[in-house]
Amino acid sequence: MISVRYHIVSIAAVFLALAVGVVLGSSSLSARLLESVGNEKEQLQQRAEELGAHNERLRAQVATADHFDSSIAPMAVRGQLDGRSVVLISSADVPDGERESVAEVLRDSGAELTGQVRLGESLSDPERAASLEGVITQLLPAGVQLPTAADPGTQAGGLIGPLALLKQDGQSQVDDQARAAAFAGLAEGGFATASPGLRPAQLAVVLTGGQQRGEQAGDRAAILARFATQVDAAGQGAVLAGTSGSATGSGAVGVARADPAISSSLSTVDNAGSGAGRVAVVLAAREQAEHRAGHYGTASSAQGPVPNTPRD
């Protein structure tokens, strides 16, 4: 006769066997999983190394291409702006090296570079708009009329444009004393500084660092785009060029291209930090002198890499 003790021992043995089976099975499964994960890790690591090497090769190719573009830029732009004068205006986020590279290619083109204007961070700061408006009203030279639009970019361009550019007929819009006084006031407020001896020019190139950052990035970009638009209206033409980040279609260049009222008259370049982009800046400036506008660079919103401007 089977006793209760026998039942208990039998049941315990069954559970023990199940437990041993589970342990052995899971150990075997874990080993296979670990082996599989290890293999996948090695494959992913190898793939990452391959992609890293590929990216390095692409960077080297881009650097080589840019070096080539920069090397031939003086020949590509030679004579394009002969007999024309240009003032270079740059926002606070443009590196010194990139600004000087653009100035150099403008000289290579035959343009007379009449001076430079460096905008302060305060000019594109929405929180300083009221202060900027007050300074502009105080500094406005006799005979200069501000545009009706009240936004800070348009107002700033309405003052700096006439200070830095000649009229369509080639006459100065402001006398030298009034120009010096106005720029002194702008510098005191942290809004803009002019290089010593700056003279008004026919054309303007407005450089920006490209992609604005921070919570007010969109507002800053819009201010710079409208500023460039008003500068364009003040003289014989202007080019708005982003030196970095603009190739993604962001920043002031992106704002200008998205607004038909701006893009119909203001030329833009989204890759002025490269050799090819600097060539495009020169050709776009010539295009402006011929009363045409276009949008160039590598962003999807560009019409092409450079204008189709014929040589003389």
Q: Which residue has the higher pLDDT, 255 or 57?
A: 255
141 with 56, same domain: the answer is: no
The mean per-residue pLDDT over the stretch 145-172 comes to: 94
Q: Which residue has the higher pLDDT, 73 or 264?
A: 264
pLDDT at 212 over 70: no
| Number of structural domains in the chain | 2
Q: Which of 39, 60, 77 is the last residue of a domain?
A: 77
Is residue 279 in a domain?
yes
Is residue 303 in a domain?
no
Nearest alpha carbon to residue 77 among 287, 258, 246, 304 = 287
Q: Which of 62, 77, 92 is the last residue of a domain?
A: 77
60 with 99, same domain: the answer is: no
105 with 153, same domain: the answer is: yes
Give the pLDDT score at 190: 95
29 with 163, same domain: the answer is: no
Cα 66 → chain centroid: 17
57 with 101, same domain: the answer is: no
Q: What is the mean pLDDT of the chain?
A: 85
The residues with which 206 forms a beta bridge, in sequence order, are 89, 240
Helix or strand or coil: residue 173? coil
Give the pLDDT score at 76: 84
Is residue 243 in a domain?
yes
Point out the least confidently predicted range of 42-46, 77-81, 144-148.
42-46
Instruction: Report the alpha-carbon distance of residue 38 to residue 42 in Å, rounded.
Output: 6
Is residue 120 in a domain?
yes
Q: Which of 54, 77, 100 is the last residue of a domain?
A: 77
154 with 85, same domain: the answer is: yes
Residue 74: exposure state from Cβ atoms within 10 A (0-12, 13-18, ≥19): middle
Is residue 308 in a domain?
no
pLDDT at 198 over 60: yes
Give the pLDDT score at 181: 96
202 with 178, same domain: the answer is: yes
Instruction: Report the alpha-carbon distance of residue 147 to residue 130 in Å, rounded.
Output: 16
Is residue 301 in a domain?
no
pLDDT at 66 over 70: no
Is residue 310 in a domain?
no
Most confident of 27-41, 81-95, 200-214: 81-95
Among residues of the chain, what percentage have pLDDT more than 70? 73
Domain that holds residue 71: 1-77
179 with 231, same domain: the answer is: yes
6 with 155, same domain: the answer is: no
Give the pLDDT score at 245: 55
53 with 99, same domain: the answer is: no
95 with 149, same domain: the answer is: yes
pTM: 0.77
Cα 141 → chain centroid: 32
Give the pLDDT score at 65: 47
264 with 248, same domain: the answer is: yes
Give the pLDDT score at 267: 97
